[in-house]
Structure 1
Amino acid sequence: MSASNTDPLAYEIAPPSIPCFPMDQWYVAALGWELKDQPLGRTLLNRPVVLFRTADGTVAALEDRCCHRALPLSNGTLEERGVRCGYHGLLFNSEGECLEIPGQEKIPSKARVPAYHVHEQDQIVWIWFGSETHPEPTCEPPVYDVHSSGKYLFDGDVYHYDAPYQLIHDNLMDLSHLGYVHLRTIGGNASIHMNAQMKVEDNGEMVRVVRHMPDSVPPPTYNAAYPFKGNVDRWQEIEFHISHLRIWTGAVDVNTEALDDPDRGGFHMRGFHGVTPETETTSHYFWTIATNPKSDPETVKAKVVEQTMLTFDEDKVVIEAQYRNMCRFGALPMIDIHVDAGANRARRIIEQLRRSIR
């Protein structure tokens, strides 16, 4: 199904000889606070995985299938030494080795399940599946010190989408839709959004989109969270990486600070968006939102998180309806407009990476 009449491969499912997803990457598997006292089952890049914490708090990831009778290990329980299958009680450690078979002393050498590389950093859990060429990680997971610097308060959640993951990328790369989809929260004047000054650049691995909206009316969420005096100079900075996006939005009182000053003040919303394919047609969306309250910090944080969740609820409705309609109408061409520049560059990067893996 074509994304435009100039990019015919954009929405197609990969042929069998080409991986569906860029594999040699760290992908988001969970938010740290999801892993508590129960194993968590989740399908990531078509692989059923069980995630859990060991006794010392370290995160582990195994194939979600007991090697005895195939019950998902996520249906089991956690113990000090690992995860115990909920069918016949086989106990597996974080390396996938079977440590115990109740009622049987000898443990067969084949009694083990595959383990995956997983790493928790800045309260984000990353997983590496790799490829035949790079089964071991070739780099460290991304750092996201917005969560650990102490400068911001944040929270987040996980959404499941009945839509391909690149449609979520498209949505996040194009914030012009805010004026139409998010009128009650972070939207603002639709005309200003569509005509915002926009700069797009990429380096072959990352795409950066910067949009400025000077002298604009602050949207409802901004006014609810920050004591602006009137109109504001507003910015949107989007960084696309293969497995996640970082979006910094905010505003200052009009004509008070330069929008290209990295240390500018005012109201900030820093969003982390981990977009991980579940399958070719379904996705996981891990998000957090961080802000810098000027007063009454917990109340303001709660308001920003609540408003953000409302916007993502609205996005989910739009994206899933969009995909249903794409399936309904089939491979009809779609045009591009000026706001698609960032999303199209992101799609080209992913396509190049997919085709480079054999």
Structure 2
Amino acid sequence: MFPMNQWYVAAYAWELQDKPVARTILNRPLVLFRTVAGEVAALDDRCCHRALPLSCGIIDKGGIRCGYHGLLYAPNGQCVEIPGQARIPSKCRVEAYKVAERNQIVWIWLSDQPDSEPTSLPPEIAAHDDPRYKYKGGLFHYNAPYQLIHDNLLDLSHLGYVHLKTIGGNPQIHMEAPTRVESDDDYVRVVRWMKASQPPATYSQAWPFKGLIDRWQEIDFHVSHLNIWTGAVDADTEPLDNPNRGGFHMRGFHGITPETETTSHYFWTIASNSHPDRPDMSELVYSQTEATFAEDKVVIEAQYQNMCRFGDLPMIDIHVDAGANRARRIIDRLNKAALQS
């Protein structure tokens, strides 16, 4: 049901402090925690003694202690202490998962083979550690399948209809924007330019544009996450294919992690730069981005509810669906390959 042998977003680094976090990922009930020494761990959320969720326990010594009878588990899943009992059975352990922390994101490696080693480092989210930007993020829980969120992020033509109060703009310009779509075996890139546009509300509040703007949207899809670079410069001042162009920048990270077949975790951050005349508008950008994504959540959950009501009635593709369709083909191919292996 889900592509395996991938790094998925499990948590933000700042979520794991002095208490365990329960989170279901790809149908696996997990407990995530940080030891007193700072090591991040992920285990099955079940004590092997009497099945209480380990997330009901506490962080103690070098691991997590069950809240029922006090069994202590190390980050590798092995029970290392049973209060009142010297001998620890060798089978007294729970499944442990490989995790890695990078750019304040905690990633978990999920494989179709037990004890599989990651084949790559977790993705880098460079904007989180770039001094040009300030960033902040949040987490939405969706009552909808994860690929509907992919569809939404790969097709930004909806901005002019759904997000009129923040990052929207003229709907016709959005629908008619020149769009380039590229892809390979596990990656889709969508580039859209909207020249001579009116700046939407978030842009005009965050940056002192002189009038019309040349606006860009660059969407990079990977199986477990998307990076979206949007922004604008004053119209006719800089080429939009210059990777070092100036103006107002918003770099969005979108970690889309399936919870189950019909529910999803949506981890997101937004990083933005500031104009010298408006020294710190990052909180405004964050709050308006949060409002924008809350609007998306309403639309996508309503969409899924209606899909369930109407069953398997066909849906018609239009020109803005090219990126989303390529992403779906990648995931379908990965899932079929896993079934055949």
TM-score bracket for this pair, using the shorter chain length: over 0.9
Superposed CA RMSD: 1.2
Check conservation: 1:24, 1:134, Cα contact below 8 A. Answer: no
2:67 counterpart residue number? 86
Return the alpha-carbon distance in structure 1 between the equivalents of residues 142 and 293 of structure 2. 11
Provide the identity percentage: 66
Aligned match for 2:10, one of 4, 29, 46: 29
Pairing 1:292–2:273 present: yes
Pairing 1:274–2:271 present: no
Return the alpha-carbon distance in structure 2 between the equivalents of residues 342 and 74 of structure 1. 39
- Cα deviation, residue 135, structure 1: 2.0
Distance 1:231 1:134, change over 3 A: farther
Return the alpha-carbon distance in structure 2 between the equivalents of residues 167 and 265 of structure 1. 33
Return the alpha-carbon distance in structure 2 between the equivalents of residues 298 and 64 of structure 1. 45
1:44 counterpart residue number? 25
The Cα offsets for residues 185-211 of structure 1, whole Å up to 9 and x where unpaired, read as 000000000000100010121100000
1:229 counterpart residue number? 210
Q: How does 1:343-358 map to 2 (within 5 A)?
A: 343-357=324-338, 358=341
Q: Unaligned 5+ residue runs, structure 1?
A: 1-19
Distance 1:266 1:324, change over 3 A: same
Distance 1:52 1:298, change over 3 A: farther
2:285 aligned counterpart, secondary structure? helix
Which is further off, 214-223 or 94-103? Answer: 94-103
1:163 aligned counterpart, secondary structure? coil
The one-letter code matched in structure 2 to 1:152 is Y
Distance 1:207 1:134, change over 3 A: farther
Pairing 1:53–2:55 present: no
1:170 counterpart residue number? 151
1:238 counterpart residue number? 219
Check conservation: 2:253, 2:270, Cα contact below 8 A. Answer: yes
- Cα deviation, residue 110, structure 1: 1.1
Distance 1:295 1:74, change over 3 A: farther
Return the alpha-carbon distance in structure 2 between the equivalents of residues 132 and 83 of structure 1. 25
1:255 counterpart residue number? 236
2:174 aligned counterpart, secondary structure? helix
1:290 aligned counterpart, secondary structure? strand
The Cα offsets for residues 220-263 of structure 1, whole Å up to 9 and x where unpaired, read as 00011111111100000000000000000000001111100000
- Cα deviation, residue 55, structure 1: 2.2
Return the alpha-carbon distance in structure 2 between the equivalents of residues 23 and 41 of structure 1. 21
Aligned match for 1:192, one of 169, 173, 179: 173
The Cα offsets for residues 305-342 of structure 1, whole Å up to 9 and x where unpaired, read as 00000000000000000000000000000100000000
Which is further off, 127-136 or 85-94? Answer: 127-136
Q: How does 1:198-209 map to 2 (within 5 A)?
A: 198-209=179-190
2:92 counterpart residue number? 111
Aligned match for 2:111, one of 106, 110, 130: 130
The Cα offsets for residues 126-171 of structure 1, whole Å up to 9 and x where unpaired, read as 1012112882211111111111122210000111000000000000
Check conservation: 2:79, 2:93, Cα contact below 8 A. Answer: yes
The one-letter code matched in structure 2 to 1:320 is E
2:129 aligned counterpart, secondary structure? coil
Which is further off, 344-353 or 292-301? Answer: 292-301
1:336 aligned counterpart, secondary structure? coil
Return the alpha-carbon distance in structure 1 between the equivalents of residues 276 and 12 of structure 2. 27
Return the alpha-carbon distance in structure 2 between the equivalents of residues 66 and 133 of structure 1. 20
Return the alpha-carbon distance in structure 2 between the equivalents of residues 198 and 126 of structure 1. 32
Check conservation: 2:144, 2:301, Cα contact below 8 A. Answer: yes
Aligned match for 1:153, one of 117, 128, 134: 134
1:113 aligned counterpart, secondary structure? coil
The Cα offsets for residues 28-82 of structure 1, whole Å up to 9 and x where unpaired, read as 1011111111000100001011111122212111111000111111111111311
Check conservation: 2:207, 2:278, Cα contact below 8 A. Answer: no
Distance 1:67 1:133, change over 3 A: closer
Return the alpha-carbon distance in structure 2 between the equivalents of residues 175 and 28 of structure 1. 23
- Cα deviation, residue 280, structure 1: 0.5
Q: What is the TM-score normalised by the length of structure 2?
A: 0.97
Check conservation: 2:37, 2:62, Cα contact below 8 A. Answer: no
- Cα deviation, residue 274, structure 1: 0.3
- Cα deviation, residue 283, structure 1: 0.3
1:215 counterpart residue number? 196
The one-letter code matched in structure 1 to 2:7 is W
- Cα deviation, residue 107, structure 1: 1.2
- Cα deviation, residue 117, structure 1: 0.5
Check conservation: 1:35, 1:51, Cα contact below 8 A. Answer: yes
Check conservation: 2:145, 2:262, Cα contact below 8 A. Answer: yes
Q: Unaligned 5+ residue runs, structure 2?
A: none
